[in-house]
Amino acid sequence: MWHRRTLLTVAAAAAGLGGCAGSPSPTTFEGSTATPIPPPVGADYAFTHLRADGNRIVDGAGTVDDARPVDIAVDGRPAWLLAFPGRGATSYWTVVRADGRATTHRVGDGTSETVASHGRVSTPPLAYAAGGAFGVVDAPADCAEHTHPVVVDGGLLYVATNGDVVVRRDGTSTRLDAAAPADCRPVRIDDDRYALYGGRTTRYRHAALGDTVEGSRLLVVDAARGRIDADVPLDAPTVFEGLSPLAADFDGDGDREVVTTVADAVDGARIRAYAAHGTELATGPVYGPGWRHQLCVAPFGPDGRRELAVVRKPHVDRTLEFYRLDDGDLTVTATHDGYASHTYGSRNVDGGLAADLDGDGRWELLLPASRRRTLAAVRRTERGAERAWALPLGGELVTNVAGVALDDGRLAVGAGTAGRVRIWQG
């Protein structure tokens, strides 16, 4: 069930992921599947949506607003970006091009170097690192085309080409009837439970996310027991418009909620929160036809309260909204105009992240401004929200926005334009 696209053990592997003792030469292993090999036990995984729970946040604190960017030259058009911490103020970035070929690069001391070439990999990618080695998990042969597996204890969980959810653990496969869309991406609620969309349907033909197929059921899968624990259907004409839910402690009660976007052709999209067992908690306001792009839950509030960052109609209105879930109500606390977190028809929905990006103790949301040529840092204030500063991309954004907490507690962020990836390491 595993195929090792690349494992490059660098000359400095004994130094761990830091790899600072020398400049390793790139090595390529071109996708052999003759001997399926799992990543090493204890490997770290990098998602395009940053975390297994789909909440696009980065721990740590940095000063990326003042950082001098480091450019990684890419032979072709980058499409996906994944990040790992190295030793000290060092990071590693796996860049996947639009043609599916991938390389990994070390960034540190104001320079970059290529440390691995992975050949052609499965996309969207799931990367891993362990003991100085880097790889990209290859999808099983029956995995759906526009998703990737997730690693569970003893194996994998993934959406199959026929829409089943497959749990492969310890040599045994369990198939669950889910009718999941081909681009559905499971997100982790806790150690064994995953949330995803099932019940594929074409009753809402907005096609903002790559096709006219959306999910009509919210599923909670227990990977350890190989069963569906919750199955929440939507009545026609509504659908779940998104590739995945988002799992986070939204209201600060210590338990994770599942955040979704519900849409139909008449009312458009609205945010809806569920308890982890599937009970509906609250639904946000509706503003007419169009999509809402949910990004992340973080302590954005000026009082440190958790809020959800959403871009309302990123293709038209380009309005950033902050939501708060409080006593069964889901309300908008602030808005700010001028943000294009997604391009119409793209399956790249990872166009933003949150962190304390300038080291002031407050969290910022980093996302592309309307022309997608700068990344803007937006901060909540007592009066609403404001743009605090921006990072120039030197071109139009074509990848996801990625970030990672470094070994020394600081952080780095990165994004790609045609022909290069730019990294800010504060």
pLDDT, position 39: 76
E-strand stretches of 215-356: 217-222, 227-233, 239-240, 246-248, 257-264, 268-275, 280-283, 292-298, 307-312, 319-326, 329-337, 353-356
Residue 5 vs residue 280, higher pLDDT = 280
pLDDT, position 17: 42
User: Is residue 12's pLDDT more than 90?
Assistant: no
Rounded CA-CA distance 168/34 in Å is: 19
pLDDT band at 29 (very low <50, low <70, confident <90, very high): very low
Burial of 324 (0-12, 13-18, 19+ CB in 10 A): buried
- According to DSSP, the residues that pair with 379 across neighbouring strands are 386
pLDDT digits (tens, 9 = 90+) for 180-224: 999 999 999 999 999 999 999 999 999 999 999 999 999 999 999
Strands 319-326 and 90-97: unpaired
pLDDT, position 1: 38
pLDDT, position 37: 53
pLDDT band at 25 (very low <50, low <70, confident <90, very high): very low
pLDDT band at 15 (very low <50, low <70, confident <90, very high): very low
- According to DSSP, the residues that pair with 364 across neighbouring strands are 355
The residue type found at 316 is V
Greatest Cα pair distance, the chain, in angstroms, is: 60
DSSP assignment of 26-92 equals P-B-----SS--PPPTT-EEE-TTSSTTS--EEEEE--GGGPPPEEEE-SS-EEEEEEEE-SSSEEE
pLDDT digits (tens, 9 = 90+) for 157-176: 999 999 999 999 988 999 99
Mean pLDDT of 258-284: 97
Question: Per the confidence metrics, is the pTM higher than 0.85?
Answer: yes
Q: Give the angle 212-248-204 at the CA atoms, nearest 5°.
A: 15
CB 144 within 8 A of CB 161: yes
The residue type found at 27 is T
CB 381 within 8 A of CB 388: no
pLDDT, position 230: 98
For residue 346, give every residue at least 6 positions away whose Cβ sits within 8 Å of its Cβ, in sequence order, or none: 209, 210
Q: Give the 3-state secondary structure of residue 15.
A: helix
Cis peptide leading into 124, omega within 30 of 0? yes
Mean pLDDT of 139-161: 95
